[in-house]
Amino acid sequence: MLLVVLAGPVYGLGTIRAVYDETATSLSVTFDNNYASGWMIDICRDEPGDDLVGPFKASVAQLYVERTSGLQSGTQIIDLSAVLATVPAGENIQIYVSAYTPEEDTTIEDGDAGYQGNACVAVKGTALQPTAVVTPETDLATVAAMSNGIPVLSITMSDTDSNKNNLEYLHADKENKISAMISLDDSADPNNNFSGESAVIKGRGNFTWSLEKRPYQIKFDGKKGLLGMAPAKTWVLLANHTDRSFARNRLIFDLANDMGLAYSSESRFVDLYINGEYLGNYLICEKVEVGSNRVELKNPDGLLLEMDNHYGTAEPYYFTTTKSGTIFTLKDSVDAADSPEVQQAFVNIQAQINELETLLYADDPDWAAISEIIDVDSFVKRYFVDEFAKNIEIGMSSIYFYKDGDSDKLHAGPVWDYDLSLGNIAKGTVSEDYAKNITLRVEEGIVRNDWYAQLCRNEEFVARANQLYATDVKKAIDNTDDNLNAVAKLVAGSAENNFGKWPVLGVPTLETTNSRIIEHSFVGEISYLRNWIVDRSNYLAGAYGAEMPTLTYLSHVQNQGWQSAVTTGMQAGTTGQALCLEALELAINSDESAGSLEYSTHVQNIGWQDYVPTGTVAGTTGQALGLEAVKIRLTGELADKYDVYYRIHSQNYGWLGWAKNDEIAGTVGMNLRAEAIQVKLVTKGTFIKNTSNRYFELSTAPVV
């Protein structure tokens, strides 16, 4: 049986499901909980260029119409054999299922868009191929490919132990391996088609393996190119069960490739069948592994590492860093993992990463030494991938690094695991500096590694980030919206069938509960993601660029003294320790003739102090007097080109809202200490979302 979703819940109409039985040449239509009084089946020729989801054109020839009254919930069986016999072989048709109310009697013809008041509702077209439909011997995958417009991957289990040839055995343990025969049908490009390829299928993933829709790995007997991707034996089938747009992993893979981040995965969408059972929309992609057409390491001591703070201790080879306590696993290598060369390389890389952490966490980091250990550009590009996506796994797991021998530098990438990113878990705002403040999540016990926060303390890293944003990153990020539109159009039909199999629309899952509203339609999920991408892209465009000055600042904290300097957008000070800020010093690396930066602080028992210029201490030290509020402003050309934003973490209130350009941030007259501050410089007019008041003053209403 082939599930073809032809219509859905619109205008109060309940679910319409249509199932075509290819051996009986009949269409079974089920109506659930409807409030309409009749239904219609329309079969039309598929005119070239018609949008199957859009308005119908007057030129579409109507081949068959059947209508009935007295609609009730239940199933109607429509015999299509007569009408299909009149359709020439090789010609597509469209089948429309709709319902109507007694107020109007509307058929789908003469250019009717399918929506007239409360009349014909829930109209959706699906193209079928008569020759594929009416022939019992026709492969089911071919029919499905015609229906959904994406390739179909069919896996038939063929293990010599017949007890293994079922989904129950496959799903019992992700390490269960089953021999199988694999076929692929791509109606858009028959050159991609193949059948009867021998392979082995198994489960994969950690948390995702526990979900209802499972991810898989397939390994062919020999290297096999799929859908235009370079040949390799092993391929991964991502289920994207928590991503109702199906797009997030694909968008990030494409983004990383567009940025030039080496060895980023290629991927394609398929409809997956196992033993004839439809399992939904999947993303088949290149596995992150060492090999030709993958991570192409050449030296015998070349290594691929994964940061895996969730499951790393279950791996045969792992180590924990001495400074941050990060767990790294030996994911793959050029030679066998137990070879002497690889084992020695694994010992060496532990020492090198521990040395790197010593440098990163130093009070005064030595950038020259850091840049001798890491490949800076790959780290910058990986930073932007995670910063743009707000990757929740940053600092935890699925973070890969590689090193091609002892003399090579440590490279960041390839990227992996982004189904919960890009706003799928919608904590914080689209206008926050995410990766550079990951230390806050370390302090909260949420993540373990904050390398990017430590890297961003270095002005040289920030300067290189601004340069690469202008030359490599911005264009790639700007392409993401168009890439999303292409994905949405490509998988629309497949998405409907997937949600028929896995009804997760409108249903929060463990990962997304309480973080955002889950939309009730695929279109709604795409719209949410599109808006998020546009807003996030716009913020980054205002925060980075080749001409962006570097802002640095440091804080003097009660009982601790002067802390290390941080750069734009980062936290200075402490939270959760009941310690007050006592003094600040800010600096900006701009030409003095272009303007500068000035700031004033409100000090406990003293009040507002005079403005001081960049590089000067504001506040007090050695007097046990805390800061309560601050004002910061730009001068000259800087004020014309940029806005300076800042916010205070205040006693009893936590983080207050963002103030800008000489507004007050903090509290006045309430004897509440300022505990931490963030300051950021953005291009004039960049939108910064506020989630709370920026300022409170005794006996006054809050200022917003």
pLDDT tens per residue across span 473-488: 999 999 999 999 999 9
pLDDT over threshold 80, residue 79: no
Kindly state the tokens that stand for 91: 């010609």
Q: Of 158, 228, 157, 136, which is closest to residue 188 (Cα–Cα)?
A: 228
Beta bridge partners of 154: 183, 273
- 92 in Cβ contact with 128 (< 8 Å): yes
Q: What is the mean pLDDT of residues 579-585?
A: 98
Secondary structure class of 251 (helix, strand, coil)? helix
φ and ψ of 486, to 5 deg: -65, -45
Tokens of 374: 């890491």
Tens-place pLDDT, residues 651-671:
999 999 999 999 999 999 999
| Beta-carbon contacts of residue 21 (< 8 Å; ≥ 6 apart) | 1, 2, 27, 28
458: which strand partners? none
- Which has the minimum average pLDDT: 124-133, 323-332, 426-435, 611-620? 124-133
Bridge-partner residues for 572, per DSSP?
677
The residue behind tokens 């730009």 is 634
Angle between helices 376-389 and 522-543 (to 10 degrees): 130
Return the percentage of the chain with pLDDT > 70, whole number: 77
Residue in 311, 355, 305 with CA at minimum distance from that of residue 330: 305
More confidently predicted of 684 and 23: 684
Question: What is the structure's pLDDT at 199?
Answer: 98
Peptide bond into 414 cis (omega under 30): yes
User: pLDDT by residue (tens digit) across 498-535?
Assistant: 999 999 999 877 666 567 888 999 999 999 999 999 99
Token pair for 552 = 């640095």
Q: Mean pLDDT over residues 382-410, rounded?
A: 96
pLDDT at 24 over 50: no
Q: At residue 41, does pLDDT exceed 60?
A: no
pLDDT of res. 84: 59
DSSP string, 212-232: SSPPEEEEEEEEE--TTSPPE
Tell me the Ramachandran region of residue 601: left when phi exceeds 0, alpha when psi lies from -120 to 50, beta otherwise: beta
Tokens of 202: 């198994």
Inter-axis angle of helices 376-389 and 459-468, to 10 degrees? 70
Which of helix, strand or coil describes residue 472? helix
Residue showing tokens 């695991």: 417
**Is residue 704 classed as helix, strand or coil in its secondary structure?**
coil
Q: For residues 18 and 20, what is the distance between their CA atoms, to the nearest angstrom?
A: 7
Domains delineated in the chain: 2-133 (2.60.40.10), 142-286 (no CATH), 307-477 (no CATH), 551-697 (no CATH)
> Among 72-81, 150-159, 163-172, 287-296, which stretch is predicted with the lowest mean pLDDT?
72-81
| Residue labelled with tokens 């989904």 | 167
Q: Are 279 and 497 in contact (CB under 8 A)?
A: no
Give long-range contacts, CB 8 A cutoff, 24+ apart: 87-90.
87/45, 87/63, 87/130, 89/130, 89/131, 90/129, 90/131
Which residues are bridge partners to 544 per DSSP? Answer: none
pLDDT confidence bin for 404, thresholds 50/70/90: very high
β-bridge partners, 307 = 328, 399
